[in-house]
A and B are shown apart, each in its own frame.
Chain A
Amino acid sequence: MKKSSLLSALSSQGVLIALALLILFGWLRYEHFLGLFNISSVLRYNSMFALVALGMCFVIMAGGIDLSVGSTAALGSVVAALLSPHGMLIGTLGGVAAGLCIGILNGLVIVRMRILPFIATLATMLAANGSALLLAQDQSVSVSYDGTFVDLGQGDIYNIPIPALIAVAAYIIGSIVLNYTGTGRAVLAIGGNEDASRLMGLPVDRVKFLVYALSGALSGLAGVILASQFGAGQPIEGVGWELFAIASVVVGGTLLTGGVGSVGATLAGVLLLGLIFNVLNFENGLGWISLSAYWQSVIRGLFLLGVVILQSRLSSKQSAA
């Protein structure tokens, strides 16, 4: 336990240092990098990914994986958009509930049918995608602008984007749950060694079920924000979100083998990967070089590469020591 917490501390500080350096670089190099507009648009856009990554973080810490988050978010956005004429609350609850349904389905298939998470969530990814397209009749569903629904994604409170506030609140709750509740500790124990946890009498099945349900609900919430921010429920959005979320979690130092992880570092991972795109835009704006947007995936990939190699070095040192 001591070994792994030391390792996670090292890796999680790594991502914080990298994030700080990137922000410093941007601040020194670009005039408006730390301007209100830029900060608020970066936060607004990335809060969706942050919510998805939070759920993914819990799933991965419990030793699983959830490939369905992207199409679940798309489904959530469609349901929210369809319900948006009934007001913000109904729209939000509907989107979250749709995501929760997919999450529950994941949990049931994985826990009851004992099917590998990879395959189970691959299947629900298809199912969510099909349901979203069915509900939306193969086109994007525009939201109602009459009520307050669009404020959720587009509004601010004290100049802070509402989606960012939601994401931060979710991360604070997530962090408390992980560190101070029995369920949170059980997540890490199960990810560390499922058989041992079962023998210790931990409610392994229930906790696994809960993390997938949570991941589904958070993806649904991300979908609600997607719909509200862009004014439409988008059934084909969310392609590749799952892998972006996994990358953020890994960059944040959470081990994919489960058992070790940090919620805060995952948030840092999301921001780091998100800021790479932002920095690229600013760099192009300076006019010295012109890198197409396609470079962002190359750079993100290289970042991920660096992090995983570093992690493997650290963990082999750990096991050698």
Chain B
Amino acid sequence: MSNAASPKTIETNTFNLMAFLTKHATLVALLALIAFNVVFTKHFISIQTLNVNLTQVATIVIVGVGMTLVIATGGIDLSVGSMMAISGAIAPLIFLGTAVHISEIHLAVAVGMIVAVLAAGAFGWFNGWLITRFRIQPIIATLVLFIAGRGIAQVSTNGNLQPFKLGEFQWIGLGRWFGVPVQVIIMVVLVAIAAWVLKRSLFGRQILAIGGNERAARLAGIPVARVKRWVYCISGLCSGIAGLVVIAINSSSDANLVGLGMELDAIAAVAVGGTLLSGGRATVTGTLIGALIIQLVRYTLLANGVNDDVAKLVKAALIVLAVWLQRHGRS
């Protein structure tokens, strides 16, 4: 597939070169940040620092993977935070036995996690359905679930905090596998799969073709509606997983707070990572690097005694600067 001499090949090659360059630019920025920290921040080179930064960034990246695919089609998903809240609300309802009673705890946890993630995926699919069936702009279509989704999560738990202490479940947020936090492994696996899909698979090519020129993609016989629905469904699934990670870390599920503001963090990571916001060019590893840069800048500032509020100002400038540099890199 990748070597097929289709008319698109030339275009794809030039795009790849650009993607290669910008990817390098973000990578260089990341390396520079790390180098700065090695020199100036005390105790920077330690497993603990690495784990702190990676665990903080994991949920953003997990959501960012789905967001990257959505943005690659030229869309946007504002509802990711709400879908995290839904998944975070549903899982404890099942494994704590509030909604249904399953006596075997491992089974209850498994059912809870699967149902929660699938529910988030279903809501994501609903987003895609709205967008393709009614031709509603993605920003508006996902705004519906942004507003209603958190409400659904709150209503289903009556707004109550659901506290728990359950090793069988919390491995997803607190566990280690060969010393690496489990959610970091999930993050890496998801990034690897999505990067492969985007680069090598037919589905990935279709996503980029739709984002590049939807009309042309449709005329070329690409099942635009189906691809889009899947992409939003995947975004929902990723959000569902992230929701589970967050409640596992917190040892409780608070529908009012889980995933709050996540849409903006994820979009910022995608944009800083070098994915075009208008669609057609996307890099999942870029999103990972983008999220790491944002996190590391914040960490660097905080570790060197700069106020968290100032760190926000720097983050804002960083987003604008990164996007601006990418524009210049292209033109």
Contacts and interface: CB of A to CB of B under 8 A. Distances in A.
A301 B149 contact: yes
Contact of B268 (A114, A122, A296): A122
B150 A297 contact: yes
B148 to A, nearest CB: 2
Contacts of A120: 320
A24 B87 CA distance: 38
A20 to B, nearest CB: 23
B154 interface: yes
B286 to A, nearest CB: 15
Contact of B315 (A119, A126, A244): A126
Contacts of A301: 144-145, 147-149, 151
Given A296-B151, A297-B148, A115 B323 contact: yes
Nearest to A313: B134
A27 interface: no
B223 interface: no
Contact of B313 (A126, A256, A294, A304): A126
B312 interface: yes
Interface string B218-239: 0000000000000000000000
Interface stretch (A79-87, A128-136, A168-176, A203-211): A128-136
A125 interface: yes
Interface residues of B, number: 47
A124 B316 contact: yes
A247 B78 CA distance: 13
B69 interface: no
A308 interface: yes
B24 interface: no
Given A65-B139, A115-B320, A256-B137, A130 B312 contact: yes
A36 interface: no
B264 interface: yes
A65 B320 CA distance: 16
A178 B301 CA distance: 45
A294 B151 contact: yes
A304 B144 contact: yes
Contacts of A257: 137
- Interface centre among B278, B310, B320, by most chain A C-beta atoms within 10 angstroms, is B320
B191 interface: no
Nearest to B78: A243
A295 B149 contact: no
B14 interface: no
Interface in B201-255: none
Nearest to A316: B135
B309 A138 contact: yes
A308 B141 contact: yes
A302 to B, nearest CB: 6
- Interface centre among A114, A126, A133, by most chain B C-beta atoms within 10 angstroms, is A126
Contact of A127 (B136, B278, B312, B327): B312
A250 interface: yes
Contacts of B136: 308-309, 312
A32 B42 CA distance: 64
Interface string A222-253: 00000000000000000100011011001000
Contact of B147 (A127, A129, A304, A316): A304
Interface in B162-216: none
A129 B136 CA distance: 31
A299 B130 CA distance: 17
A295 B155 CA distance: 7
Given A113-B324, A256-B139, A122 B147 contact: no
Contacts of A297: 147-148, 150-151, 154
B317 interface: yes
Interface in B260-277: 260-261, 264, 267-268, 271, 277
A118 interface: yes
Contacts of A305: 130, 144, 148
B159 interface: yes
B139 to A, nearest CB: 7
A159 interface: no
A127 B151 CA distance: 28
B277 A247 contact: no
Contacts of A123: 316-317, 319-320
A154 B71 CA distance: 45
Contacts of B147: 243-244, 247, 297, 300-301, 304
- Interface centre among B141, B143, B271, by most chain A C-beta atoms within 10 angstroms, is B143
Contact of B324 (A115, A122, A126): A115
A298 interface: yes
A47 B313 CA distance: 29
25 contacts: A65-B139, A113-B320, A113-B324, A115-B320, A116-B323, A118-B76, A119-B267, A119-B271, A122-B264, A122-B268, A126-B312, A134-B310, A138-B309, A250-B143, A293-B159, A294-B155, A294-B159, A297-B154, A300-B147, A302-B148, A305-B148, A308-B136, A309-B136, A312-B134, A312-B136
Closest A-B pairs by Cβ, 6 of them: A301-B148, A130-B312, A297-B151, A294-B154, A298-B151, A127-B316
